[in-house]
Structure 1
């Protein structure tokens, strides 16, 4: 399971304060904890449309890579911020978060993917907006995959985001996400999924309960990656158990190893 650690995001008040104060120790501690908890990538988000976002991203990249060699997911809607993070990066191959089927966005981000040889998270939306049906999401995903591969991006470097929406907003949104994951993986088995896991629970109480249930349902549909909280020990325990149950962990060796390390709850 590809775990993209979500915690270094300026939307969290403690992270915003740490970034504003340039609190190196706080950011490095959070990065190390996510790595130790099993994060495959560390997502870095320096804010949206703030005037010093690019400089903040550069600082985040430099700060985290001093203590961790885990690859980054460079997360911003702003191309200048993506470029600043990629230029500063010395860790292994990063992922750009994100590209869409919107023509302006695609044309702006694509050169960075090629220049820095990155992976890319591709959101199932285009110039017509956020799709309402599974069929439209799958069609957009297919078009994005086709365009990216024609530009030279390997299938294994593409991470499809099925655009998980809160189940509190509509009772079908959970199944829409699960069915989208299943159909994308069925048609493009070499492509990864990068689901925004906690989006499913926005607006409801006891969000972790919903996140945990959605994780297992989505993994059963084929999800092999998620932007999620690796510091949620129960959630990570379910990742390891789910992989074993779904035949992704030969003889449960990884599950047993995590058990010996005291990482299961």
Structure 2
């Protein structure tokens, strides 16, 4: 499971003050904690700063890579901010988070992915907005994969985001996301799936419980990546258990290792 640590996000009230005050120590500590907890990529987002986003995103990249060599997920729809971050990056191959099939956004971000040889998260969304049905999302995913590979990207560098929407605002959104994952992975087994896991529970109580349930259902459908909170020990325990149950973790070796390390919460 490809874990993308979500905590360095300017929309989170817990971390935004540190970003506002350029508190490098707090940013670095949170990045290290996520990595130590199992994050393979560190997502960095400065979108709440609007006009200052390029400068702030560059600062986040420089600040984190002073103490950590983990790759980044550069989280922005702004091509200027993305390029500023890519130029600053000295760590290993990053992911751009994200592109869509909206014409303007695709045409402005795609060249950056090619020039800087990045991975890319591609959202099942186009100029008509967020599709309601599995069929429409799969059509967009197919189109994005075709266009991205035509530009020279390998399937293994593409991360399809099925557009997880809150189940509290539509009872069909859970199954739509799960079935989109299933169909995309069936048709394109070489691509990855990377969704914003906690979107499923927005606006409802006991969010962690809903996130855990959705995680297992999505993994069973073929999800192999997620943007999530790696500091949620219970959620990470479900990741390890899910991998063992789905035959991804041969002979449960990683699960047993995590148990011995005290990384599982039961």
Superposition TM-score, scaled by structure 2 size: 0.98
Structure 2 counterparts to residues 37-186 of structure 1, below 5 A: 37-48=37-48, 50-186=50-186
Question: SS state of the match for residue 132, structure 1?
Answer: coil
Residue 28 of structure 2 corresponds to: 28
Question: SS state of the match for residue 50, structure 1?
Answer: helix
Question: Any conservation in 2 of the 1:49–1:78 contact (CA below 8 Å)?
Answer: no
Q: CA deviation at 1:49?
A: 5.9
Residue 211 of structure 1 corresponds to: 211
Q: Deviations over 1:28-83 (max 9, x none)?
A: 00000000000010000012461111010010000001111110000011111101
Distance 1:152 1:217 in 2: 32
Question: SS state of the match for residue 13, structure 1?
Answer: coil
Distance 2:259 2:47 in 1: 37
Q: Deviations over 1:77-105 (max 9, x none)?
A: 11111011111001110000000001111
Q: Deviations over 1:189-210 (max 9, x none)?
A: 0100011100000010110000
Residue 257 of structure 1 corresponds to: 257
Question: SS state of the match for residue 227, structure 2?
Answer: strand
Superposition TM-score, scaled by structure 1 size: 0.99
Which segments of structure 1 move beyond 6 Å, counting only runs of 4 or more?
none
How many residues get paired? 265
Distance 2:48 2:69 in 1: 25
Q: Deviations over 1:108-142 (max 9, x none)?
A: 00110011000000000111111111000000000
Distance 1:6 1:20 in 2: 18
Question: Any conservation in 1 of the 2:11–2:48 contact (CA below 8 Å)?
Answer: no
Q: Deviations over 1:139-187 (max 9, x none)?
A: 0000000000000000000000000010001111100100000000000
Question: Any conservation in 2 of the 1:5–1:34 contact (CA below 8 Å)?
Answer: yes
- In structure 1, list runs of 5 or more residues that go unmatched: none
| Structure 1 vs Structure 2 CA RMSD | 0.7
Q: CA deviation at 1:261?
A: 1.2
Distance 1:38 1:166 in 2: 25
Question: SS state of the match for residue 146, structure 1?
Answer: helix
Question: SS state of the match for residue 166, structure 2?
Answer: coil
Question: SS state of the match for residue 204, structure 2?
Answer: coil
Distance 1:69 1:260 in 2: 26
Question: SS state of the match for residue 168, structure 1?
Answer: helix
